[in-house]
A and B are shown apart, each in its own frame.
Chain A
Amino acid sequence: MTDEQTESASRPAGRVRGRIATAVGVVGELLITAGVLLALFVVYSLWWTNVMADREARKQADHVRESWARGPSGPGALDTKDGIGFLHVPAMLGGGEVLVKPGTGGDVLNEGVAGYYRRPVKSAMPWDKQGNVTLAAHRDGHGARFHNIHKIKDGDAVVFETRDTWYVYKVFKELRQTSRFNVKVLDPVPRESGKTKPGRYLTLTTCTPVYTSDYRFVVWAELVRTEKVDARRTPPKELRD
């Protein structure tokens, strides 16, 4: 009763209180809106970009497979722009495969593929006599191809499939966390891996910890053998079990 009395008695005070209530209400709605926006961004990053990238990657992979089936076999007839081959890493990808394309820019990697480095250190090709094949792909979102990179252990197989050859690598070193400026990991002879002599190496890089990109995760493998692709594209034994 006293409340009603004071409110009717002092109009200006009531109006001020009403205005404050409105302002608080608007601020509250803005905060809720910001929260919903951030939640939507998470949904976009971790789900929608994967949907889009999976669709795009499948299309591009089919395109490469078709052109391999069509094209004449023989060296030098490789179309590098569409992709140089497929990466198989059972420990990380299960039975999946990742198309490898030139470049590590967002426009390439966002298509759900892996890219080989063109800068700051130019990647070698798997068929080169020696050098370091350096690859990057997303840890989360945009296909998240290297999401399970932490499951790779020493001795695991990494197989690079080109039109005519299976290149079978064996993992010998993981660098679980390094600076994002550490471009030495891409060197033809990556000394941080313990190697001192030129050889045929393969380097996988992605960001770490999961969902952020404060550091980089690096995995090194070394070529153990190559296998000619047969007419039925029988995979090497590393991919069969």
Chain B
Amino acid sequence: MYVWIWRHLPGNAWVKSLISLALVLGVVYVLFQYVFPWAEPLLPFNDVTVDDSLPTPATEWR
């Protein structure tokens, strides 16, 4: 998979390295900016309040 991407990048090893770095940074940016903020509330790591209602589908539909 990664070998395949490396082979299809243009230029010599230096150019390929630079493009790879840019790609990695781009992926990290998208993850931190969009994917993780979206995923975080769905994961049970950071609920701090006491609450008597579970987030059931019924309450989410409303």
Is A207's CB within 8 Å of the partner chain B? yes
Q: Is the CB of B48 within 8 A of A141?
A: no
- A48 contacts partner chain B, Cβ-Cβ < 8 Å: yes
State A26–B32 Cα separation when bound (angstroms): 25
Mask: chain A, 152-187; 1 = CB below 8 Å from B; 0 = not: 000000000000000000000000001011110110
Asked if B50 is an interface residue, CB under 8 A from chain A, the answer is: yes
- Seed contacts A104-B48, A205-B48; 5 additional CB < 8 Å A-B pairs: A106-B41, A136-B48, A142-B46, A213-B45, A216-B49
In the assembled complex, which residues on chain A have CB atoms less than 8 Å from the CB atom of B32?
40, 44, 48
Chain B, residue nearest A208 (CB): B48
Minimal Cβ-Cβ distance residue in B for A142: B46
Residues 28-52 of chain B: 1 if any A CB is under 8 Å from the residue's CB, otherwise 0? 1001100010011100111111111
Restricting to B5-39, which residues have a CB under 8 Å from any CB of A?
28, 31-32, 36, 39
Instruction: Say which residue of A29, A142, A178 sits within 8 Å of B2 (CB atoms).
Output: A29
Min CB distance B45 to A, Å, is: 6
Residue A220 at the chain B interface, CB threshold 8 Å: no
Chain A interface main SS type:
mixed
Does A45 contact B45, Cβ atoms closer than 8 Å?
yes
- Assess whether A120 is in contact with B53, with CB atoms less than 8 Å apart: yes
Could you tell me if B46 and A207 are in contact, using CB atoms closer than 8 angstroms? Answer: yes
The yes or no answer to A206 lying at the interface (CB within 8 A) is yes
A159 to B30, CA, bound (A): 41
B48 and A139 within 8 A (CB)? yes
Query: In the complex, which residues of chain A have a beta carbon less than 8 angstroms from the beta carbon of B48?
Result: 104, 109, 136-139, 146, 205-207, 213, 216
A140 within 8 A of B: yes
Interface assignment of B1: CB less than 8 Å from any CB of chain A: yes
- B36: which A residues are within 8 A, CB to CB? 40-41, 44-45
Q: How large is the interface on B (under 10, 10 to 19, 20 to 34, 35 or more residues)?
A: 10 to 19
Q: Is the CB of B51 within 8 A of A181?
A: yes
B residues near A141, Cβ cutoff 8 Å: 46
Point out the residues of chain A lying under 8 angstroms from B39, CB to CB: 41
Contact, CB under 8 Å: A120 / B44: no
Q: Is A127 an interface residue (CB 8 A)?
A: no
Are A180 and B47 CB-contacts (below 8 A) given A44-B36, A45-B40?
A: yes
Partner of A120, one of B40, B45, B46, B51: B51
Which B residues are CB-close (under 8 A) to A44?
31-32, 36
A-B contact pairs, 22 of them (CB 8 A): A29-B1, A29-B2, A44-B31, A44-B36, A45-B36, A138-B46, A140-B45, A140-B46, A142-B46, A146-B48, A180-B47, A180-B49, A181-B50, A181-B52, A185-B50, A205-B49, A207-B47, A212-B44, A212-B45, A213-B44, A213-B45, A213-B48
